[in-house]
Amino acid sequence: MVTLQKMNAQEFQQYLEVAVAEYAKEKALAGNWEENESLQKAKEEFSRLLPDGEKSENNYLFTIVTGDGERAGILWLAKQSEEKAFIYDIKVDEDFQGKGYGKQAMKAIEDQAKEIGFNKIGLHVFGHNKIARSLYEKIGYTTTNVVMEKDI
């Protein structure tokens, strides 16, 4: 069983260093940004979304913790409207992948979101991330939009 603990400043800085680079890479891989500009754009995006770091209003940043007290990953939930929250990021650390921690964290964030007052959660998943898409479908998320493109 996992729990979600609010990120502290040190955990946030560790998360930010990795997340910005990973986001830049994903956006370039998906063809959304040119590789040479992706890191700067990712930094700007994170600064805009989290102007006050882990204390940014309407953002809920958590460390995923196992029953044994080990850090298993992170989860970032943000208010999108009075009724809807949006998962900006969920990462299960490599050593903990494939063991059900992602599924447990998703259930825990649903409970947390209900406590805050939300009744709906959205998320984005890159089309090439088939493992994440499969998990979200198994736990009841439905596709609301599909964006496709082709190089010609």
Residue 147 has pLDDT above 80, yes or no: no
- Across 60-74, average pLDDT: 96
Alpha-carbon gap, residue 115 to 103, rounded angstroms: 19
Total residues belonging to the chain: 152
Homologous superfamily assigned to 3-138: Gcn5-related N-acetyltransferase (GNAT) (3.40.630.30)
Closest CA to 16 of 58, 57, 76, 98: 76
- Across 95-116, average pLDDT: 94
CA distances from 15 to 25, 38, 46 (A): 15, 18, 11
Domain positions in the chain: 3-138
Range in 50-54, 73-77, 99-103, 145-149 with the lowest mean pLDDT = 145-149
- What pLDDT, on a 0 to 100 scale, did the predictor assign at position 54? 96
Confidence of residue 26 (pLDDT cuts 50, 70, 90): confident
**CB 114, CB 130: distance < 8 Å:** no
